[in-house]
Amino acid sequence: MDGYNVIHGSDDLKRLSEIQLEEARIKLIDDLNGYSGFKGWETILVFDAYQQQSFEQRETFVGRIKVVFTEKNKTADSYIEKLVYRLSNSLNVRVVTSDFALQQMVMASGAERVPVRELIQDMEATQQNFRENKKKNAPPQGVKLSDFLDEDTLDQFNKMRIKE
């Protein structure tokens, strides 16, 4: 997944990136952790270090997300392209990017391309479904201990309460 494509494809993340890019990256990683966990996917999120000075490639795991910062003069697209060639024969690979040339290469290799807008819409729908299911399965408010006790135990508690 091309991290900056996703950030710039999301209105909220784009606004945040204009103020604080690092915070936008952190929010994207956090959102993707929940989404990937819910979907049961392994996710590799790639950020360009293309215009950075003396920057070596860095890889780290944040929860379920492998975060990659490419080395100097290497784009996220070139990193993703090599990864797709390496993985697409043995795994079901989905690539999220808004780059047309990379999308064409992805489809030619047999991997699935996912437009950034589609990912964002699915993440929002998944989050909404999760919230709704959480509300439905939440315990009812105002539950009392007596709701779970048999009559004999309830009588014993009442007798103890009356003695005090």
Convert the pLDDT of each residue in 10-61 to its tens digit.
999 999 999 999 999 999 999 999 999 989 999 999 998 855 665 688 899 9
Convert the pLDDT of each residue in 90-99 to its tens digit.
889 999 998 8
Q: What is this structure's pTM?
A: 0.76
Which long-range contacts link 96-99 to residues 24+ away (Cβ below 8 Å)?
Answer: 96/1, 96/2, 96/5, 96/6, 97/1, 97/2, 97/5, 98/2, 98/5, 98/8, 98/9, 99/2, 99/5
The domain total for the chain is 1
Positions of E strands within 99-154 = 112-114
For 138, the domain range is 3-163
